[in-house]
């Protein structure tokens, strides 16, 4: 009769315990929220819209959200959050309040920078590119929905779509994460704790659910780079008004070019571009919509030269065009249902 030693019994028990150990993996969401919340602020101020009597009402307030960009007090938010506010106040996650001393705003992209006199703030970590995002991956929105007392509320969802052309000059990220009025200017964050977008708008109507949109980090970095360096966005433009094809407008796949409906800039006239010409490509890259062009031109400054492949008087030609400034900005909103700013 064989006997089993105490050590063998302990070893068998350890093996049994190991094999039955739970495979549960800790949800990363709470830690992502905990890490990022100190970099998210509430923004509140008096509205300048309405009658002079209502503007004196101390309860005539509006609010939004911001993300700390630099430790010395630079904060990124939406332009529509701050453009019509006076006496703007920022409240940090630890409850400290600061008056805004400077506002730099770009309405076309809906990005703004505000400055407070603060030190040692915790900047958020921005992803180098929103292209790292994948449809279906989990994301978190942090903001100030509905009431200013609900600062640093978090909601969880997924990335619903990439490169969306909806009601604006640049492409947006789509998410089903719950974002509500007051979430404007807040971050959309991946599970690495990186900000991949700034929440800007949603579709809101009977029968529409969970359709929010964020400005991708590439556009955010492009705009804030210009704002910090120049105080404005030195936006390059073709100096043309362009009409998209019907297919492009309704969102169908299309190889149709864009048609010139108006020549605005002297540079475009000098390049011998005229009404009813059609545009196929810029610097060898096909373009099908105004958003395509706007995205491409983020890499250029006014005064730069580009090659335009086009058809003029029935001939396919290449024209060398000097880009004009944003005063002749040729972006038009896509023909989509208008989104509601948050």
Decide the pairing of beta strands 97-106 and 285-286.
unpaired
Given a contact cutoff of 8 angstroms between Cβ atoms, the answer to whether 148 and 112 are in contact is no
Task: Find the CATH number of the domain harbouring 218.
Answer: 2.40.10.10
Residues 111 and 136 occupy one common structural domain = no
In this model, does residue 206 exceed pLDDT 70? no
Residues paired with residue 202 on neighbouring β-strands, in sequence order: 212, 340
Residues 139 and 226 occupy one common structural domain = yes
Instruction: Tell me if residue 330 is catalytic.
Output: no
Residues 208 and 257 occupy one common structural domain = no
Domain count, the chain: 3
Query: What is the C-alpha separation between 295 and 275, in angstroms, rounded?
Result: 23
pLDDT greater at residue 26 or residue 283: 283
| Sequence-ordered alpha helix ranges (H) in the chain | 6-19, 29-36, 52-55, 79-82, 217-230, 246-250, 266-270, 290-297
Last residue of a domain, one of 203, 232, 261: 232
Instruction: Tell me if residue 63 is catalytic.
Output: no
Query: What is the C-alpha separation between 30 and 32, in angstroms, rounded?
Result: 5
Q: Among positive and negative, which fits the CA dihedral 79, 83, 89, 95?
A: negative
Catalytic residue among 105, 109, 165, 184: 184
Work out the percent of the chain whose per-residue pLDDT is above 90. Answer: 63
Instruction: Report, as an integer, the average pLDDT of 102-123.
Output: 95
Give the pLDDT score at 180. Answer: 85
Q: Is 153 helix (H, G, I), strand (E, B) or coil?
A: strand
Instruction: Report, as an integer, the average pLDDT of 150-157.
Output: 90
Residues 256 and 182 occupy one common structural domain = no
Catalytic residue among 39, 80, 105, 155: 80
Phi, psi of 339 (to 5 degrees): -85, 160
Distance in Å from the first CA to the final CA of the chain: 79
> Could you tell me if residue 25 is inside a domain?
no
Q: Is 1 helix (H, G, I), strand (E, B) or coil?
A: coil
> Could you tell me if residue 79 is inside a domain?
yes
In this model, does residue 330 exceed pLDDT 50? no
Query: What is the C-alpha separation between 118 and 134, in angstroms, rounded?
Result: 36
- Residues 212-267 pLDDT 10s: 899 999 999 999 999 999 999 999 999 999 988 877 777 777 788 999 999 999 99
13-27, 66-80, 101-115: the lowest-pLDDT one: 13-27
Give the pLDDT score at 341. Answer: 62
> Could you tell me if residue 18 is inside a domain?
no
Last residue of a domain, one of 232, 263, 290: 232
> Could you tell me if residue 140 is inside a domain?
yes
Task: Find the CATH number of the domain harbouring 304.
Answer: 2.30.42.10
Residues 155 and 203 occupy one common structural domain = yes
Q: Which two tokens stand for residue 89?
A: 């106040």
Residue ranges making up the domain that contains 275:
240-328
CA distance readout (Å), 202 to 44, 128, 265, 290: 21, 24, 35, 21
Residues 252 and 287 occupy one common structural domain = yes
Residues 214 and 263 occupy one common structural domain = no
> Could you tell me if residue 278 is inside a domain?
yes
Catalytic residue among 106, 110, 167, 292: 110
Does the predicted TM-score (pTM) go above 0.75?
yes
In this model, does residue 66 exceed pLDDT 80? yes
Instruction: Tell me if residue 184 is catalytic.
Output: yes
Give the pLDDT score at 336. Answer: 38
Structure confidence at residue 300 as a pLDDT band (50, 70, 90): very high
Query: What is the C-alpha separation between 72 and 104, in angstroms, rounded?
Result: 16
> Could you tell me if residue 289 is inside a domain?
yes
Query: What is the C-alpha separation between 273 and 321, in angstroms, rounded?
Result: 9
**What does the CA dihedral 249, 251, 252, 255 come to, rounded to 10 degrees?**
60
Name which of 320, 288, 323 is nearest 307 in CA terms.
Answer: 320
Last residue of a domain, one of 170, 204, 232: 232
Residues 66 and 160 occupy one common structural domain = no
Q: How far is CA 219 from the centre of its chain?
A: 7
In this model, does residue 276 exceed pLDDT 70? yes
Give the pLDDT score at 40. Answer: 96
Residues paired with residue 66 on neighbouring β-strands, in sequence order: 41
């Amino acid at each position: 009769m064989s006997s089993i030693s105490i050590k063998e019994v302990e070893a068998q028990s350890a093996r049994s315990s190991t094999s039955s150990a739970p495979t549960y993996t800790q949800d990363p969401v709470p830690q992502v929220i905990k890490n990022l919340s100190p970099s998210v602020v509430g923004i509140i101020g008096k509205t300048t819209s309405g009658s002079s009597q209502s503007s004196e009402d101390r309860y005539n307030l509006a609010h939004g959200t911001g993300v700390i960009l630099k430790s010395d007090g630079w904060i990124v938010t939406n332009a529509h959050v701050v453009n019509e506010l006076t006496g703007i106040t920022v409240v940090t996650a630890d409850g400290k309040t600061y008056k805004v001393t400077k506002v730099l705003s770009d309405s076309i992209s809906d990005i703004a920078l505000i400055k407070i006199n603060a030190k040692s703030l915790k900047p958020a970590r921005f992803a180098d590119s929103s292209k790292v995002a994948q449809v279906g991956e989990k994301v978190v929105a942090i903001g100030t929905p509905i009431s200013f007392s609900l600062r640093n509320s978090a909601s969880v969802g997924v990335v619903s779509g990439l490169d969306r052309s909806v009601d604006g000059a640049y492409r947006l990220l789509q998410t089903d994460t719950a974002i509500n009025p007051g979430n404007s200017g807040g971050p959309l964050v991946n599970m690495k704790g990186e900000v991949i977008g700034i929440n800007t708008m949603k579709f809101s109507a009977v029968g529409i659910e969970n359709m929010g949109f964020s400005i991708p980090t590439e556009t955010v970095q492009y705009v804030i780079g210009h704002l910090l360096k120049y105080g404005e966005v030195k936006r390059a433009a073709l100096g043309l008004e362009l009409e998209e094809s019907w297919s492009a407008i309704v969102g169908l796949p299309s190889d149709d070019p864009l048609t010139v409906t108006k020549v605005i800039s002297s540079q475009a006239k000098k390049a011998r571009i005229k009404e009813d010409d059609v545009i196929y490509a810029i610097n060898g890259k096909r373009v099908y919509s105004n958003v395509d062009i706007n995205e491409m031109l983020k890499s250029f400054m006014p005064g730069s030269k580009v090659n335009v492949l086009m058809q003029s008087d029935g001939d396919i030609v290449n024209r060398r065009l000097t880009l004009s400034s944003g005063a002749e900005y040729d972006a038009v909103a896509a023909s989509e249902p208008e989104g509601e700013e948050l």
